[in-house]
Structure 1
Amino acid sequence: MNGHRRRTWFSGMFAAAALCATSMSWAAQSIDWSKAAKSSDIHLTEQQSEQIKSKDLTAALVWHGASPWVAAVSRGARAEFEKLGIKVVAATDAQFDPAKQVADLENIAALKPDIILSLSVDGVSTKQSYAKAIERGAKLVLLSNPIPGFEQGKDFVGIVTDDMFGMGKAAADLTADALGDKGKIGMIYHDASYFITNNRDNAYRKGLKAYPGLNVVIERGFIKEHETSNVAAAMVLQHPELEAIYVSWDAAAEGVVEALRSLGRRDIKVITHDLGVNNLLDMAMDGNVHGTIADRPFDIGQTMARLGAASTLGLPAPHFTLVPFDTVKRDNIAEIWQRAFQSPLPRLLNLALKQ
């Protein structure tokens, strides 16, 4: 999108950040996030909504995997599409397998949907399959992960993502809250090239600089979630003085909590990202998990759908749109769960919070 304004279809239109799409290392690129749009600014007028309804459009959801988080993204997208009279003709789960996502895209391209919402498992191996769907007229809206070589406004509408840097900083603030601005920290980071987690982890490191009394005494990386239990156990045995451990995301943090329990170290606090029932149960029962930073998946899906629908009218879109996040502690678990997922709190978690 050009920096100047064209038809304004949401309040406070932001210019798109300039990105070089030739590099494979997206996490290391210099992106001016101050120019990203906010999801709260994305709106359609009543007239634009009616125009979209008259088009009898179809959409497909091409996801990387399945989880309560993905289900919430889908609910948000479906709710917005329903309001706009857009029929969802397919929804797929690649099971984190690039080959399966390629096959999913081939099948969906044959349906010729007008809009595709997707998170690419691997932008390199899936790129040609996305290109085929785009050639058949589909408007592509991406979730979080850019596809190397794709040009915004030509190959895809835009990217909706977490406020990665804000979330990383908030996790650092949450660590300070857990330790009283002073203490020794272990950091378990995602040791793979991945856009979201790399940026959140780096933002966490940067955020800690605001707290001179907080010291990271050991860092260890992981690639697969199941590795974190052994990583955490070794980390604590090497540095028994640790008072808190940061972990890149919720499911990976489950192994850390398991290791701390087995070592009898209920005193070590865990800080992570995202919402998962197991760690929220631990938090509700005053266990190791001090808090987490969570995005809003329902809002992500809703925003993606709105951007995709608007693109069928030729309306400009921001390169990146950021969705808000929330700091979650025991006292606001129920509130944030509802905000994030737009669904009732799981019964077991509700019972734990009442104890």
Structure 2
Amino acid sequence: MLFGGIFSPVALVRADLAADLQQAATANQIQITTAEQQQIKQQQLTAALVWHGSSPWISAVTAGATAEFAAMGVKVVAVTDAQFDPAKQASDIENISMLKPDFMLSLVVDAASAKGSLQKAVAGGAKLVLLSNPIPGFVLNQHYAGIVTDDMFGMGREAAKVLASHFSARDADKTKPARIATIFHDASYFITNNRDQAFREELAKHPQLQLVAEKGFVREQETADVAAALILQQPQLDAIYVSWDAAAEGVIEALRAAGRADIKVITHDLGVNNLLDLARSGNMLATIADQPYLIGQTMARQAALSELGRKLPAFTLVPFTTVRQDNVASSWQQSFRSPVPPLLQAVLQP
């Protein structure tokens, strides 16, 4: 759907969370000492990881959390994939709660659907740490120990700044601004809504950029058709912002099919297909990536510290990296703490 107004309404930060975000900690402030690790080891605790879906990104979160828990002698007894189905995730939480884990880490698909099951898990003794999405009505240190998330506002702003820098250099002799469109996540989802809005607000500060169209999507599979329609309606486009990497794959597919190598794409997160396009000087201009392995580590540390009675800020932010053609390999290794996939490595080799 193409909205009549450029700045379309989205579900932004709830008023009661604004102050918490202003006082957020950073991941490097969440540390656990050797002595504290030993205290946790002596208790022989268990943990469960209850995820919304599966992807290389969530696998890296799992790896970070599992490694950190292992260093503290905490056994991970379950890892679940809800396949983006709220009902399945609620069932996953209910089933895992029967194992009586001491810690539960979760990224919820739908807060309202998961709330009841999570309340039961917490009442049963689990210390809950959330990834990105808050649960309405949950109280810090009563229902959950903290929320670890990427710097959603910083990432959105950075995407706009990268476009501004690119087009300022490219169009130094032009008087007309570059024409930008967004293909945004048109659903109530805390992190993407705020990241997308931060992009819009930063873009408005740059006169060399003009936001000419916005189209929303709910499912990643829709974006190829959305992009195909967009470039027919806006043939003079210079760049498209897409809410995240997997959704951007369909956009790049549509641009290739239309022979529009001139339109640049900027997005968030890391995926092999789009990084291959970036490495080959295709449509991808850059991507703004967080650090999922560090997210997992930080969540595990928060869970352990809450067990020891430590009170932590409501939000902890993980830093991001601007990924361009010249730092693809190092960015992958920093984000995932794993080797660059062979296919990507082959393209990156000189």
Report the TM-score, using the length of structure 1 for normalisation: 0.91
Hey, what's the Cα distance between the residues in 2 that align with 1:238 and 1:45? 57
Counterpart check, 1:88 vs 2:76: yes
8 Å CA contact 1:80–1:305 kept in 2: the answer is yes
Hey, what's the Cα distance between the residues in 1 that align with 2:276 and 2:143? 42
Counterpart check, 1:231 vs 2:219: no
Hey, what's the Cα distance between the residues in 2 that align with 1:287 and 1:197? 25
The CA deviation at 1:201 is 0.4
Post-superposition, which runs of at least 4 consecutive aligned residues in structure 1 deviate over 6 A?
A: none
Question: Percent identity between the aligned chains?
Answer: 59
Aligned to 1:106: 94
The CA deviation at 1:321 is 0.3
Aligned to 2:184: 189
Give a deviation string over 1:159-198, Cα, whole Å, max 9, x none.
0001000000110011123322641111111111110100
8 Å CA contact 2:244–2:269 kept in 1: the answer is yes
Aligned to 2:262: 267
Which letter maps to 2:236? Answer: E
Hey, what's the Cα distance between the residues in 2 that align with 1:189 and 1:100? 26
- Unaligned ranges ≥5, structure 2: 1-10, 170-176
Hey, what's the Cα distance between the residues in 2 that align with 1:100 and 1:209? 40
Hey, what's the Cα distance between the residues in 2 that align with 1:341 and 1:130? 28
Which letter maps to 2:305? Answer: A
Hey, what's the Cα distance between the residues in 2 that align with 1:93 and 1:234? 33
Hey, what's the Cα distance between the residues in 2 that align with 1:232 and 1:186? 10
Counterpart check, 1:291 vs 2:286: yes
Hey, what's the Cα distance between the residues in 2 that align with 1:168 and 1:54? 43
Q: CA RMSD in A?
A: 1.2
Which letter maps to 1:141? Answer: V
8 Å CA contact 1:118–1:143 kept in 2: the answer is yes
Aligned to 2:297: 302
Which letter maps to 1:31? Answer: A
Choose from 9, 13, 18 the match for 1:27: 13
8 Å CA contact 2:68–2:301 kept in 1: the answer is yes
- Unaligned ranges ≥5, structure 1: 1-24
Hey, what's the Cα distance between the residues in 2 that align with 1:28 and 1:205? 18
Aligned to 1:17: none
Hey, what's the Cα distance between the residues in 2 that align with 1:98 and 1:282? 33
Give a deviation string over 1:99-150, Cα, whole Å, max 9, x none.
1111111111111010000011111111111111111110000000011111
Aligned to 2:129: 141
Aligned to 1:243: 238
The CA deviation at 1:71 is 0.3
Aligned to 1:341: 336
Give a deviation string over 1:25-83, Cα, whole Å, max 9, x none.
66343613331000011111222221111111111111111110000000000110011
Aligned to 1:318: 313
Match of 2:281, SS state, is coil
Report the TM-score, using the length of structure 2 for normalisation: 0.92
8 Å CA contact 1:27–1:193 kept in 2: the answer is no
Pick which of 216-225 and 27-36 moved more.
Answer: 27-36
Counterpart check, 1:56 vs 2:51: no
Aligned to 1:172: 160
Choose from 147, 150, 153 the match for 1:162: 150
Q: Residues 249, 142 of structure 1: CA spacing in aligned structure 2 closer, same or farther, 3 A cutoff?
A: same
Aligned length: 331
Hey, what's the Cα distance between the residues in 2 that align with 1:95 and 1:122? 12
Choose from 69, 79, 90 the match for 2:67: 79
8 Å CA contact 1:178–1:269 kept in 2: the answer is no
Aligned to 1:329: 324
Hey, what's the Cα distance between the residues in 2 that align with 1:204 and 1:26? 13
The CA deviation at 1:209 is 2.5
8 Å CA contact 1:233–1:260 kept in 2: the answer is yes
Aligned to 2:276: 281
Match of 2:97, SS state, is helix
8 Å CA contact 1:144–1:161 kept in 2: the answer is yes
8 Å CA contact 1:27–1:194 kept in 2: the answer is no
Q: Residues 193, 27 of structure 1: CA spacing in aligned structure 2 closer, same or farther, 3 A cutoff?
A: farther
8 Å CA contact 1:58–1:86 kept in 2: the answer is yes
Hey, what's the Cα distance between the residues in 1 that align with 2:111 and 2:240? 31
Hey, what's the Cα distance between the residues in 1 that align with 2:14 and 2:233? 31
Counterpart check, 1:203 vs 2:198: yes
